[in-house]
Amino acid sequence: MDSSDWDRRYTEQPRPFGAVANATLVAELVTLPAGRAVDLACGDGRHAAWLAARGWRVDAVDFSAVAIAEAERGWPAAGDSVHWQVGDALTWEPDERVDLVLVAYLQTEQLPLVLERARTWLRPAGRIVYLGHARDNLAYGVGGPRSPDVLPTVASLASALDGMEVLSLRHVVRATPDGDAYDVLAVARELPA
């Protein structure tokens, strides 16, 4: 899907992924001290807003201009804590290093490149937290994209994060009204120099 496809989706259905932060991400993020974060492919902003409410300063980036407009309108309480920006995950860069890069449900064949770029943005001890539909969801789960090319496996994420300290890398079962969906979670930080 290109940015115009996503624009259409956000136009047709306000808040297509809900207004509540994903429970697996909340469990991962709630113990981290607030700092500076990037929410890459932030959509209409549920995770950036959750981080801002906990004291984070967030660059929230998505290539859908409609999603970013909805986020700005939908989360006024985030105020200056979130800098909502239209940008492509394959080319956008933060202007300073960060403590957290969050990537939630970004669907792209270029995920290894996205993670390779994101790790260069981290401060020492900063983390990448990735959560998305797992390739196993095609066989066992409901919903999500149907193209295997945009669906990572535990193995493909391990390869993309090679050389980092991997703190968590596992499947997550997410209950939905239509049945269980299978996600994959990866949390990693750079090894000390």
Ligand X SMILES: C[S@@+](CC[C@H](N)C(=O)[O-])C[C@H]1O[C@@H](n2cnc3c(N)ncnc32)[C@H](O)[C@@H]1O
| Residues at the site binding ligand X, with contacts judged by CB under 6 A | 6, 17, 41-43, 46-47, 62-64, 67, 88-90, 104-108
Q: Using the minimum distance from each CB to ligand X, give the nearer residue, 122 or 150.
A: 150
Q: Taking a C-beta distance cutoff of 8 angstroms, is the pair 126, 97 a contact?
A: yes
Q: Taking a C-beta distance cutoff of 8 angstroms, is the pair 134, 183 a contact?
A: yes
In angstroms, what is the minimal distance from the CB of 104 to ligand X?
Answer: 4
In angstroms, what is the minimal distance from the CB of 51 to ligand X?
Answer: 12
Q: Using the minimum distance from each CB to ligand X, give the nearer residue, 46 or 135.
A: 46
In angstroms, what is the minimal distance from the CB of 191 to ligand X?
Answer: 27
CB-based burial of residue 189 (10 Å sphere; 0-12 exposed, 13-18 middle, 19+ buried)? buried
In angstroms, what is the minimal distance from the CB of 149 to ligand X?
Answer: 13
Instruction: Name the residue whose CB lies closest to ligand X.
Output: 43
In angstroms, what is the minimal distance from the CB of 100 to ligand X?
Answer: 14
Number of H helices, E strands in the chain: 7, 7
Alpha carbons 43 and 105: distance in angstroms, whole number: 9
Alpha carbons 172 and 111: distance in angstroms, whole number: 19
Q: Using the minimum distance from each CB to ligand X, give the nearer residue, 88 or 190.
A: 88
Q: Using the minimum distance from each CB to ligand X, give the nearer residue, 64 or 81.
A: 64
Q: Using the minimum distance from each CB to ligand X, give the nearer residue, 67 or 128.
A: 67
Tokens describing residue 92:
């956008």
Tokens describing residue 118:
């994101």
